[in-house]
Amino acid sequence: MQSIALPILQAFPLLLCISFSIAFTKQDAGTAVWCSILSFFTFIYFQAPFIELGACKDGCCTNCCTDGCSCANGKNCCCCSLLCCTKKTEELKILHISNAGRNLVPSIVTRMFGVNTLNTSIFGPIFIGGVMIPFLLKRYSEIKLPTYLAYFSGKRLLPLICSLSVLPLALLTLLFWPWIWTALSYLGNWIAKSEGVDTFFFGLLEKLLIPTGFHHIFASLFWYSPLGGDVQLALKDDNGGKCCELLCCKNNISLNSPSLQGDALIGLYSLSFPTNDITSKKIFEHFQEKKIFAGRLAQGKFPIMQFALPAAALGIYYSHHPQKRAEAKKTLVPGVWNSLILGITEPIEFSFMYTIPKLFYWFHSTMCGLSFLLMRLSGSHIPTSFSGGIIELIINGVIPVQKGTQFYYWAAIGSGLAIIYFTVFYYSFLKFHTQQPTATEPNLAGGEQKPALSEMELWKSGLGGWNNVTNYKNCASRLRYDIKDKNRVIESDLKKAGVIAIKWVGDNHVQLIVGPKAEEINTKLSKAAMASNS
């Protein structure tokens, strides 16, 4: 399993760059992918000649330990255990400049695709794939050249333009990024020492960003960058350039990868260790002593998704009049399964976000922060790689319990939250229903009934016709469509087609929350639109 996962983790920055270029390019995703690949490789390979690694002096050079780990074999030999050793950073030069505060953090340089390059974590890929590539494609996709160069006009010139455009960025990165990276690493490790305050505000802010869709970017900053912690910096005082029983004798540059920075990646990397304990202590307990709280910015999701939100849905269900519970069940039951199994919470959250906004922005967001705080104080360590469903809990928490995950606190905290959520949601919606006027069904003249539309007809009618949508895209749980005329959209038909909630971003972009079937629905609708235009 490790041999399958490690290549993906090591290629994570490139994959992130590609995904952002696709997400922010409205048309011609193929060109965006090709440009992002070439640009990213140009970016990292251009930096390689400007990074100098000094000779190994007091660092880890050879493995002298054959009968267990010991640090008493001299300065130039040490033990191969789990992680990479911290080489003395005084020998590191970036852009032919040493010291000046540019080499305080060993993780600043990483080896990627065979070359030594700056470790820009998720920030480099986001800027290249999410900002530079979309801008260049929009500006130069229709560029015209003289007749003798006409073959390279338009899209054929874009890969060259994008590749050349990252060269100034690479130079600026070599000049300024070491200071920025150092600040991020120290800030991330300082935040981790806040005794749980950081986890509360992380859970609170992440949930408040759900309506905007930017919660993924916010979480990624802490899951996959040194803002979520830097292992090598945390162990630097223990090591001091010499051997530490946590560290490996191999050169840190040769094996260093982004998996050593960021809360989610640190936790997942720790799960791959071939041993369950270090110096007679479980891995996560040993890390905790070094102020490395793996999983602290992810595990707070589990009590919310497996206990709190299902209890909230149950409270909403029983608050309805018995005759209306069957209708409410159609929306709530799929939402519960999504939250419980996959960790996708939007179907339930959007069922009350606009109905009773205070429940979401005041109660639910605060309780999410509290869940993160309680899980952190309990000493649990449950990493996550996707969202926080029961499948991830079993794989990352239950199975590796011998590593010190202490997953069982999830059930204790979740049970308490479930009681609170059921009570609050039941009485809040009970009060809401009593304040709503009783709806009466209109009587059609002559007893005639309007023929029911099929699901596809409801989608077409609700969107104002296929030609009213200029761009079909989706994420994990939402359809993200660009709309020509907002007035042509019939929201009631969209609700009948299965849309859980509708969010407008301006007058020309709509987000339709449909749950985990977003990809399937978007494919079906885009095919119908293309068929109607052919």
Look at residues 341, 340, 315 and name the one whose alpha carbon lies nearest to residue 328. 315
Supply 418's token pair: 């479930």
Look at residues 519, 11, 509, 427 and name the one whose alpha carbon lies nearest to residue 259. 11
* Secondary structure class of 100 (helix, strand, coil): coil
Burial of 27 (C-beta count, 10 Å sphere; 0-12/13-18/19+) = exposed
Look at residues 411, 410, 418 and name the one whose alpha carbon lies nearest to residue 379. 410
Supply 224's token pair: 């996959």
For 296, residues 6+ apart whose C-beta sits below 8 A from its C-beta are 192, 196, 198, 199, 263, 372, 375, 376, 381
Among candidate residues 56, 77, 80, 475, the one labeled active-site is: 475
CA dihedral 47, 48, 54, 58 (to 10 degrees): 90
For 243, residues 6+ apart whose C-beta sits below 8 A from its C-beta are 60, 71, 73, 77, 78, 79, 85, 249
Exposure letters 421-460 (e unless 16+ CB within 10 A, then b): bbebbbebbeeeeeeeeeeeeeeeeeeeeeeeeeeeebbb
For 459, residues 6+ apart whose C-beta sits below 8 A from its C-beta are 493, 494, 497, 525, 528
Give the C-alpha separation, 261 to 184, whole Å: 11
Annotated catalytic, 475? yes
Question: Which active-site residues does the annotation give?
Answer: 475
